[in-house]
Amino acid sequence: MGEITVWAPHRDRVALWLDGDTHEMRRDERGWWRSSRDIPPGHDYGFLLDDATSPLPDPRSLWQPEGVHAPSRRYDHSVFPWTDQKWTGRALAGGVVYELHVGTFTERGTFDAAVDRLDHLVSLGVDFVEVMPVNAFDGPHGWGYDGVLWYATHEPYGGPDGFKRFVDACHARGLAVLLDVVHNHLGPSGACLGEFGPYFTGNTPWGPALNLDGPGSDEVRRYVIDNALGWLRDFHVDGLRLDAVHAMVDRRATPLLAELAAEVDALATHLRRPLTLVAESDLNDPALVTAGEAGGHGLHAQWNDDVHHCLHTVLTGERQGYYADFGSLSALARTLREVFFHAGTWSSFRGRTHGRPVDTRRLPGHRFLAFLQNHDQVGNRATGDRLSATLSPGLLACGAAILLCSPYTPLLFMGEEWGASTPWQFFASFPDPELADAVRRGRRAEFAEHGWGVAEVPDPISPSTVERSRVDWSEPERGWHRELLSWYRALIALRRSRPALSDPWLDRLGVVVDEDARWLVLHRTDGRGDEVHLACNLGPTAARVPVADVALEVLLTNGVTRPGAADDGQRGRVDLGPETCAVLAPVR
């Protein structure tokens, strides 16, 4: 297995703890401690720092079968029997992404149980499965953003072998895998990196922030990059979603994100399959997804909250908090055409101007992920209520049509495709009672600032909160849930079959709205003759919507729709019922 190493530059002594015995390690000039002693796979080990008598787990541990406070267990990547040798990967452009949380996607909450539901995703038509964080965290249940050992896979989900079985099964079905990784902070329980070296500097709203630009930051940055490359290389993952990159303080000349993008591109060249980096960022900065050759960071895509905020406020009427600037159809139209609503413009929620414009002639829409819902926008509501808790099936269908007929890379949140009635709430399971109580108090105080009462906020530590958040797999076969699922399948299939709908160039998108009548029309063309139009009536009364000055045929509709005929003087118009939409094309 090679020599054992650990970085601990400020320690006077470091010993390897192996199955209860200790072995002194030797230090090099950069603060790395080494031992030539072999650790066979399956044996437990850790490190004793200075005069400590209890071993700490390996900061680069791949396996924590007894939890994050216990010793590490040696894991051998070469043993796993992969079957995906013919997998050549999948580019993000043109794809549809499906976000899921392993612990609540199924009743058992494991990788193997999730494999049993992959055929549903294939029939839905998605291309990428985005898995919320699976790095090791304290306790059996949680969102995954409180990870403390980034290289290890959460054992209650199935550990490293379980995750490999999941990825292998996805590839066998033609599904690529994106993994959500958290490199901006560590969780509050089991975060022992600071004992080894200067990993931290300052804090984020969620925990200690990494030292990316101070003394010792070379090795900290290497820790992040090696972690990312390990998921892509050793677990065969096809891409990473980088959590909250705006919280990573980095003042060095070459940003960590640019360094990471360059190394991932080099690995993709070696593996001969595309590897994708998707950032979550609150900055509204197109530099993140601008190519390195053009002076950008070189990431491949980023989440776009502004599209979500526009869609959410238009559909629900909510205007509180950060939704205050959104809510009009004209704001939605502008954001659909220009990517960001706040693009060097005033943000009332922030109390300042925010963002930069996107050059839509240079940056394609597929570099921005759009969504109606995701884990944040559902789970960070006090009761974890989905859109299906307040919207009619008609408005859900209209929202899905706008999303899937847009030029952006669409992302769906698990259960969205059938209008799941189960909430998705915030939950954790820290064994330390003081920490658990602090999480309860903090969550209630946070929502009190937004007007929710204590009684409305579920106990995040209660097992019942996790149980309520599991999707109900009996729903897709029932009533309007079944009809909505069929609608999603049809929209995704149409997006795949019509070049105009997958065309990513935003300067070819047309959007027309009528604020008073509450209708919207998207005009899509691929520049080579394919032409598709989406007409949506979001209002409570029927509407006659002008679409195009040509005879039209209906490709899809969620209700009774009558295109105008040439002989009745209504050519190019469509009559839509309340909360009804139609995808149309010129009659050939």
Residues recognised as catalytic? 243, 280
CA gap 40, 145 in Å, rounded: 31
Longest dimension (CA), the chain: 92
**Phi, psi values for residue 24, rounded to 5°:** -65, 145
How far is the CA of 457 from the CAs of 22, 450, 540, in angstroms? Answer: 48, 12, 32
CA angle 406/403/374 to nearest 5° reads 135
Rounded Cα gap, residues 503 and 453, in angstroms: 46
Structure tokens at 364: 């394609």
Q: Which SS3 state, helix, strand or coil, does residue 227 take?
A: helix
Strand partners, 135: 153
C-alpha span between 404 and 522 (Å, rounded): 11
Task: For 120-150, give the DSSP string.
Answer: HHHHHT--EEEEPP-EE-SSS-B-STT-SEE
CA pair distance 155, 190, nearest whole angstrom = 15
How far are the Cα atoms of 26, 163, 267, 323, 555 from residue 80, in angstroms, in the given order? 32, 11, 21, 47, 47
- Answer whether 282's CB lies under 8 Å from 271's CB: no
**Helix or strand holding residue 207 (H, E):** strand 207-210
Q: Return all residues near 310 (Cβ < 8 A) that are at least 6 apart.
A: 326, 327, 331, 332, 335, 336, 341
Contact predicate 418/400, CB 8 Å? no
Sorted by sequence, the CB contacts under 8 Å of residue 269 that are 6+ apart come out as none
Asked if 333 and 520 count as a contact pair (C-beta separation under 8 A), the reply is: yes
